[in-house]
Chain A
Amino acid sequence: MKISKKGKFQIGLLLLPGLIIFGIFTVYPIIKLFIMSFFEWDFGNIFGQHFIGFQNYKEVLNDKYFQVSFANTIVYTLVTVPGQMILGFLTAFLINQITRFKVGYRVLYYLPVITSWVIASLVFKYVFNTEGLLNYFLVNVIHIAPQNIRWLDTRWGGLTVAMFLGIWKGIGWNMVVFLAALQTVPADLYEAASIDGATALGRLFHVTLPSIKGTILFALVMLTIGGFNVFTSVKMITGGEPGHKTDVVLTWMYHKAFSTGAFGYSAALSFIITVVLAVLALIQFRMMQQKN
């Protein structure tokens, strides 16, 4: 089909607002961030920024606070991604088997997803308070803890609460995604497997999972990105306390940028995170393709 001059003009017209908004508010900041990461740029010298090469990158990588926050982010991602996927898949798997109230379950399990991060974080902070309901339950009702557990006051305690929250909030999303995928698995595949004498578990591993491989990959990539994006929950629940030991990369970046004014440092940090994430996404795609 040939496009007339007028058509070309109209195509341009349709593209224009998108390109302008995207260009100004996303592309320009990306470029600016990249440039900033090579400059000394902080509160002290607002006007005297000067080029310092890879100095910021060196500083970030040698910073013990960054290393801790990076390790925390990795742990968070390694725990919450499989956690959400497995629980979400199981829920979807069960819902897929039942004949009634499917929609009801779907709606209720999805509630945590639509609860905002700020609110969910506050609820968790309240429940996991040293004097909170959960500790009372563990110590005085079912007696499995000898004394109140200091959930929010230690590195792993604080991260555990954040990870509980991450998983709790993510189950619904995974459930919906996997439920849709399960419904696309052709019924005759199951029948064929049954005739071959496959057990329920065998069907799960040899029929169901291979058939929804695409969805698993999709969820894996999206959730890994989500894991690196964790910010609000950690900021609200522990605020990085004690002594920045529960910081994740983004809360540490935000602290460096807006509490100490180290903009160059934070820009370099942001770029490192982006590169790590891009590489991870690429590896995940590759791995899935090889298994094909």
Chain B
Amino acid sequence: MKKCKKVLAVLLTAATCLAALAGCSNSPVQTKNDSESQVTTNETKDDGADNTAAEDTSASAEKEITLNFWHHYSAQSAENDTLMNVLIPKFEEENPGIKVNAVSHEWADLHEKLLISAQSDTLPDVARLDSAWIPEFEKMGILTALDTEMSDYGDVAAGLLDSAMSTASVGGHSYGLALNTNSKILFYNVKALEDAGIAVPKTMDEFIAAVKTLSGANDNGQQVWGYNEPALAGWNLCPFIWSMGGAITNEEGTKASGYINSPETVQAIQTFADLYAQGCITGWNSGDIPMTDGFGTGRYMMLLEGPWKIAEMQGAYPDFEYAVTEIPAGKGGSISVLGGEDISMFNSANKDAAWKFMKFMTDPFAQEEMAKCGQIPVNKEALNSDTVKNASFAPFIDAIETAKSRPTVACWSEMDSELSVAVSAVMNGEKTAQEAMDELAGTFDEMLAK
């Protein structure tokens, strides 16, 4: 017993020392943050869920506002570093009295967490949202209509790209500011294509042929795949469906039968399934090599990815030689999927502070900083800056011109997850593409009618 107590005491001391040590080894600025963060972690008892205007726990008598900002820049990314070490310190310096508490969630987790928090009235003030989520959250009535509530909305919006701003508008009102835009294009392993003696694929037929040629085994006898697709959601499948002439729903987003199960869509899915069956594509299975590692180590020869991949490859595989080109054209043309995020505030937010932060994140300075880590700006001034001109965004910006956005309907998240389940059943050979898509058409119609 005594021994046990001693061990506990030693552990406790060790933990405390460790905290002190780690705190000191950082730069002075960070040390300040550290000590503060410790205060918050230890005194959270009263702090609770009061997100709107939680009093700062530090000793200062002045009322400080803590602005909660949720996003899905991944925790170990260059974007997150820029946000935490450049943007937020600058914002806090410019706006004394406002502290920003930025929280990183994984993409799917963020969606989940927001739904839960909406249910329990614990939403953050501001969030960076996938633009595909806006209709859903608008329908739940948790987003603030900026055009009616913010007097200077017009001026701010005028500085941002119209096409990007349109992703945040539902029913004539605007529920967010565009934050960044993106699209996917084809990345390929230069050496692999050269070795195989094939030209860069320009059409879908060439692409499929190239995928087959590039698959097989490498010198170590390991399997290699011509193409990688990390998931089977709309974001992944839409470029193929659209480029091959198919669709998810009609233009108005009211009907899916005849679109999701049209011969073109079915053919796109079937093509995927055939390639998978032949061992030429992979990536969405839990046991697969992650995309970046697989590409960088020559196991995946081609991918469709967005501008952030350039920074990621630079960080993880700086010596790897790859190039990019537009999405191979099919019957429907070369159509990529329009991505991008909006920054929105929730109805429960501290609106003044939230608006200040949103304006800051979309101003030229912040947009340029983020452009350095692969986020394509939507601020017109930032787009014309040297940073952006020097960045290799050109092919992506070309793709954006012709890219389409996923159906802007409130039930998109639900449809998206049904789509993944249905397509994964096709991949595993449980259903033919026709069967699965016919079934899905019925499910989608029901969801859209609600």
Report the separation of the CA atoms of residues A72 and B112 in the bound assembly, to the nearest whole angstrom.
25
Stretch at the interface among A16-24, A25-33, A150-158, A186-194: A150-158
Q: Is A241's CB under 8 angstroms from B112's CB?
A: no
CB nearest to B231 among chain A residues: A241
CB contact between A130 and one of B288, B414, B421, B424 (< 8 Å): that residue: B288
Chain B contacts for A261, CB-based, 8 A: 115, 119
Contact A158 B115 (CB under 8 A): no
Q: Which residue of B112, B140, B414, B421 is within 8 Å of A243 (Cβ)?
A: B421
Inter-subunit contact A43/B115 (CB<8 Å):
yes
| Cβ–Cβ contact B223 & A148, under 8 A | yes
A43 vs B119: C-alpha distance when bound (angstroms): 6
Q: Which of A57-98 contact B (CB under 8 A)?
A: none
Q: Is B313 an interface residue (CB 8 A)?
A: no
Are B112 and A152 neighbours in the complex by a CB distance under 8 Å? Answer: no
B286 touches A237 (CB 8 A): yes
In contact, B425 and A243 (Cβ under 8 angstroms): yes
Say how far B290's CB is from chain A's closest CB, in angstroms: 10
A239 touches B286 (CB 8 A): yes
Q: Is the CB of B428 within 8 A of A130?
A: no
Contact with A along B260-290 (1 / 0, CB 8 A): 0000000000000000000000000111110
B428 with A242: CB separation less than 8 A = yes
A-side binding surface: helix, strand, loop or mixed?
A: loop
Residues 157-209 of B at the A interface (beta carbon under 8 Å): none
The answer to whether the Cβ of B118 comes within 8 Å of any Cβ in the partner chain is: yes
CB-CB < 8 A to A147: which residues of B?
223
Minimal Cβ-Cβ distance residue in A for B427: A242
A116 near B: Cβ within 8 Å?
A: no
Within 8 A of B (CB), among A104-130: 125, 128-130
Q: Are A241 and B119 in contact (CB under 8 A)?
A: no
Q: Which residues of B contact A125 (CB under 8 A)?
A: 286
Interface of B is mostly: helix
A241–B140 touching, CB < 8 Å: no
A22 to B417, CA, bound (A): 39
Give Cα distance in the complex from A132 to B285, angstroms.
Answer: 14
Interface residue tally for chain A (C-beta within 8 Å): 28
Please pick, from A131, A140, A241, the residue contacting B286 in the complex, using a CB distance under 8 A: A241
Say if the beta carbon of A238 comes within 8 Å of chain B: yes
Knowing A148-B223, A242-B424 touch, does A153 contact B285 (C-beta < 8 A)?
yes
A203 at the B interface (CB under 8 A): no
Give the residues in chain B near A259, CB-CB below 8 Å.
112, 115, 417
**In contact, A242 and B285 (Cβ under 8 angstroms):** yes
Chain B nearest CB from A97 CB (Å) reads 29
Chain B 221-269 interface residues, beta-carbon cutoff 8 Å to A: 221-223
Contact of A151 with B287 in the complex, beta carbons under 8 Å: yes
CA distance A242 to B429 in the complex (A): 12
In the complex the two chains form, is A150's CB within 8 Å of B424's CB?
no
Tell me if B116 is interfacial: C-beta within 8 Å of chain A. yes
Mark out the residues of chain B between 424 and 439 whose CB falls within 8 Å of any chain A CB in the assembled complex.
424-425, 427-428
Once bound together, how far apart are the Cα atoms of A237 and B287, in whole Å? 9
In the complex, which of the residues B115, B223, B286, B421 contacts A153, with contact meaning CB atoms closer than 8 Å? B286
Bound CA span A130–B222, Å = 11
CA distance A241 to B421 in the complex (A): 9
In the bound complex, residues from chain A placing their C-beta under 8 Å from that of B222 are: 131
Decide: A130 near B285, CB < 8 A? Known: A244-B421, A259-B112, A260-B414: yes
Closest-by-CB residue of A relative to B299 is A131
Closest to A238 in B: B286
Chain B residue nearest to A140 (CB atoms) is: B221
Cβ contact of B287, chosen from A46, A152, A260, cutoff 8 A? A152
**B113: nearest chain-A partner, CB-CB:** A258
Q: Are B115 and A152 in contact (CB under 8 A)?
A: no
Question: Which of A140, A151, A239, A258 is B112 in contact with, Cβ under 8 Å?
Answer: A258
A129 to B293, CA, bound (A): 14
What is the minimal beta-carbon distance from B375 to any residue of chain A, in angstroms? 27
Q: Which residues of B contact A128 (CB under 8 A)?
A: 287
Interface centre among A129, A151, A153, A260 (most CB of B within 10 A): A153
Min CB distance A227 to B, Å, is 22
Task: Tell me the complex Cα distance, A71–B173, Å.
Answer: 48
Give chain B residues whose Cβ lies under 8 Å from the Cβ of A151.
Answer: 287
How far is it, in angstroms, between the C-alpha of A172 and the C-alpha of B116 when the chains are bound? Answer: 38
Bound CA–CA A211/B427 (angstroms): 54
Which B residues are in CB contact (< 8 Å) with A158?
A: 286
Known: A243-B425, A259-B112. A43 touches B140 (CB 8 A): yes
Considering only residues 234-258 of chain A, those with a C-beta below 8 Å from chain B are 237-239, 241-244, 258
Q: How far in angstroms is the closest Cβ of chain B from A244?
A: 7
Q: Whole-angstrom distance from the CB of A159 to the nearest CB of chain B?
A: 12
Task: Please judge, given known A-B contacts A242-B428, A243-B425, whether A130 and B140 are in contact too, CB under 8 Å.
Answer: no
In the complex the two chains form, what is the Cα distance from A140 to B217 in whole Å? 14
Write the nearest CB–CB distance from B64 to chain A, whole angstroms. Answer: 31
21 residue pairs of the A-B complex, CB under 8 angstroms, read A43-B119, A130-B287, A131-B222, A131-B288, A140-B221, A148-B223, A151-B287, A153-B286, A153-B287, A153-B288, A158-B286, A241-B424, A242-B424, A242-B428, A243-B420, A243-B421, A243-B424, A243-B425, A258-B115, A258-B116, A260-B414
Q: Which B residues are closer than 8 A to A by beta carbons?
A: 112, 115-116, 118-119, 140, 221-223, 285-289, 414, 417, 420-421, 424-425, 427-428
9 pairs of A and B residues whose beta carbons are closest in the complex: A152-B287, A130-B287, A153-B285, A152-B286, A243-B421, A243-B424, A242-B424, A153-B287, A238-B286
